Chain A
Amino acid sequence: MNELHPLTKAIIDGRRKEVPNLVKQCLADGEMAGDIVEKLLVPGMALVGDRFKRNEVFVPEMLMAARAMKEALNILEPSLVAAGVKPEHTAVIGTVEGDLHDIGKNLVAMMWKGANIEVIDLGVNVAPAKFIEAVRLHKPRLVGLSSLLTTTMPAMRTTVKAIRDAGLSVGICVGGAPITHEFAKEIGADGFAIDAGGAVDAAMALLQRKD
């Protein structure tokens, strides 16, 4: 196995405080910001996602890695903007109306960002109209709906229907503790993620399918 770059390793280990200097060192060495994201950050998060799926790391480790990645992106952002580098895909995400839980949604947002998807996070308790407004504004390829409570699952169904009724062509991926593959199919969602690790695979499957 190839030796991992120190920046990639810092991302994987969630060593956020070490990340700024490592990013600055990469830039000083002449690396392009877009290449740092593509070759050092995204593979690091992908490896974390794989380890999560194999139960080698857990939510806290994944979260620490995502925070380290965010630290790197904060430093790289001006260079990325100057170079006109943008993530290939955009996604809108939110927890459905009536549900105030955000940990699962935040983890998925972080994992999607780690997969180089621009994520518009609408927060919690998001009404269907707000999802529709965001889809019209940001023109994402993907919408993520989260629900932790059994009682708010009907709101997920309502949101999917509202997006469909609005005639918006966007892939809808759903997830959350009570959500199952069967329920996702039943309400007309395009994808389902059992956890934050699986959310990247589900997103990529939808993004590629729509291509």
Chain B
Amino acid sequence: MNRDFYLDLAAKGIGMPIGTHLILHEHQDHAAIVQDGYRLGQVVEEAARRFRMPLAFPLMDLRLEKEALLLARGVAPDSVDGYHFAEIPIEEGRFLLTKTMGAVCGAIRHIAENTELIPIGMSIGPFSLMTKLIADPIAPVYLAGTGATRDDDTEVALVEQLLKLALFTIRSYLDAQIEAGAKAIILCEPAANTVYFSPKQLAVSYGVFDRYVMRNNLLLRDQLHRRGVDLIFHDCGELLDGMVQRFASLDPAIISLGSSRLLWEDAALVSKSTVLYGNLPTKQFYSDSLMSEERVRQLSEELICRMREVGHPFVLGSECDILSVPGSERAIMAKVEAFLRTARSKDL
């Protein structure tokens, strides 16, 4: 789409929660809905209408790609969650569109064919997927940062092979979502953060970050561009400025960051053609003592005013998917509504 579409959204001063999970869990049979493309599409539509958003955000479930990668390699369905590769797998171009992925694509198709909303797809990023496939991903990434190669260290070799498998799976899933009608893709790399990459090591060189995170995300960005699909990049992890600069170099339409970042400072790191999105601490919305409605209003006002001061295109939103916490749904929804009211307020 034309980049002006996103810049216009920012100029309108709307608020946009990624809140499909919250709406989904208002339905008693939510577990069945996520397996049914049409019904999931209705929930995605319901979330967009309830929050008055032109973008139909999908349900954020970053487990789907691991399941697809493992099922395609014969891992038993009940072993998927806890499965970790101990040995280097053979690189094979096998992709299985799982039932849940099929439902996601079905939901996108529903939005594309039956509504005026913009259908949005989603995928975990290759680095974050790799971290789910190995018991201890941190050590080999660190070793690679010290210069260890796949020939020196079997764990490094395992990580590099799994990155290839992850990239293949994600590429295939993106193609399926684009075929279904996605006009933009939210690419989530929450593990590309200071837990997995030592700031001490990155202070010397970003080599390992560039090889393990940026290289594959650039390939995905190019894949989207070739299909005329926009990139929305998301990382709610603890980040360094250098990481934000690198993500911004992907030239996403929107960049979504976690609440640990000060967006008005990040504005200097990001091109004005990229909308900054976020980053209210929605993970704390379940608790009134941690985050009251009044505090949500204050934070919203501060974000809006400060982003206006720096003059960067900005959409007020959540720092991640707003999860439904059993027993806290009303508290969470009240705060979502509070920030939406603040975003729409003409008094600011």
Residue ranges of A at the interface with B (Cβ–Cβ < 8 Å): 56-61, 63-64, 67, 100, 103, 106, 123-125, 149-151, 153-154, 177-178, 180, 182-183
B145, B289, B323, B325: the one within 8 Å of A182 (CB): B289
Give chain B residues whose Cβ lies under 8 Å from the Cβ of A180: 287, 290
Establish whether residues B139 and A67, one from each chain, have CB atoms under 8 Å apart when the complex forms.
Answer: yes
**Contact indicator B142/A64 (Cβ below 8 Å):** yes
Q: Do B290 and A61 touch across chains, with their CB atoms under 8 A apart? A: no
13 A-B pairs whose Cβ atoms sit less than 8 Å apart in the complex: A56-B200, A59-B196, A60-B142, A60-B198, A61-B142, A63-B138, A64-B139, A100-B82, A103-B138, A106-B136, A125-B82, A177-B283, A182-B289
Return the 3 tightest CB-CB contacts between A and B, nearest first: A60-B142, A60-B198, A58-B198
User: A60-B196, A63-B138, A178-B284 given as contacts; is B325 within 8 A of A154 (CB)?
Assistant: yes
Q: How far is the CB of B18 from chain A (nearest CB, A)?
A: 14
Q: Tell me which residues across on chain A come within 8 A of B196, comparing CB atoms.
A: 59-60
- Minimum CB distance partner of A180 in chain B: B290
Chain B residues bordering chain A, tally (CB within 8 A): 27
Task: State the Cβ distance, A59 to closest chain B Cβ, in Å.
Answer: 5
B139 near A61: Cβ-Cβ < 8 Å: no
Chain A residue numbers with a CB within 8 Å of B197 are 60
Query: Contact: A100 with B81, CB < 8 Å?
Result: yes
B194 CB within 8 Å of chain A? yes
Distance of A61 Cα from B81 Cα, bound (Å): 27
Q: Do A59 and B138 have beta carbons less than 8 Å apart? A: yes
Closest to B195 in A: A59
Fill in one digit per residue for B180-209: 1 if any A CB lies within 8 Å of its CB, else 0: 000000000000001111111100000000
| Contact present for B199 and A58 (CB under 8 Å) | yes
The answer for the CA separation of A173 and B279 in the assembled complex, in Å, is 30
- By a CB distance below 8 angstroms, the chain B residues around A154 are 325-327
Question: A150–B283 contact, CB under 8 A?
Answer: yes
- Given A60-B198, A125-B81, A183-B287, A151 contacting B326 (CB threshold 8 A): yes
